[in-house]
Amino acid sequence: MAVSAVLGGVLVLSACNGGGDQPKGSGQASAKSQADVDAAAAKDASKARIAITPKDGATNIGLNDATSVTVSDGTLTKVELKSSEGADVPGKIAADGKSWKPDAALKRSTKYALSASAKDEAGHEAHENASFTTVSPENSFIGSFVPDEGQTVGVGMPVSITFNKPIKDQKAVQAAINVSSSSGQEVVGHWFDAQRLDFRPEQYWQANSTVTLKLALDGVQGAPGIKGVQSKTVTFKIGRSQVSTVDAKTKKMTVTRDGQVIKTIPISAGSPSNPTYNGQMVISEKFKETRMDGATVGFKNGEGKGEYDIKDVPHAMRLSTSGTFIHGNYWGSDSIFGNVNTSHGCVGLNDTQGANDPNTAGAWFFDNSLIGDVVTVVNSPDKTIKPDNGLNGWNMSWAEWKAGSAS
The residues assigned a catalytic role are 327, 346
Instruction: Tell me how far apart the alpha carbons of residues 173 and 191 are, in angstroms, rounded to a whole number.
Output: 11
Instruction: Tell me how far apart the alpha carbons of residues 303 and 190 are, in angstroms, rounded to a whole number.
Output: 42
Instruction: Tell me how far apart the alpha carbons of residues 327 and 292 are, in angstroms, rounded to a whole number.
Output: 11
CA nearest to 371, candidates 331, 300, 316, 298: 316
Contact 159, 179 (CB under 8 A): yes
Instruction: Tell me how far apart the alpha carbons of residues 337 and 335 are, in angstroms, rounded to a whole number.
Output: 6
| C-alpha distance across the termini of the chain, in Å | 87
Instruction: Tell me how far apart the alpha carbons of residues 271 and 299 are, in angstroms, rounded to a whole number.
Output: 14
Q: For residue 93, give the 3-state DSSP assignment.
A: strand
User: What Å distances lie between residue 342 and 23, 178, 272, 319, CA to CA?
Assistant: 115, 44, 8, 18
What residues are paired with 215 via a beta bridge? Answer: 177, 232
Other Cβ atoms within 10 Å of 27 Cβ, number: 12
Contact 120, 74 (CB under 8 A): yes
Phi and psi (nearest 5°) for 246? -95, 120
Other Cβ atoms within 10 Å of 104 Cβ, number: 10
DSSP state of 83: E
Instruction: Tell me how far apart the alpha carbons of residues 216 and 13 are, in angstroms, rounded to a whole number.
Output: 65
Instruction: Tell me how far apart the alpha carbons of residues 342 and 365 are, in angstroms, rounded to a whole number.
Output: 20
Dihedral, CA atoms, 141, 146, 148, 150, nearest 10 degrees? -130
Burial state string for 176-199 with b = 16 or more CB within 10 A and e = fewer than 16 = bbebebeeebebbbbbbeeeebbb
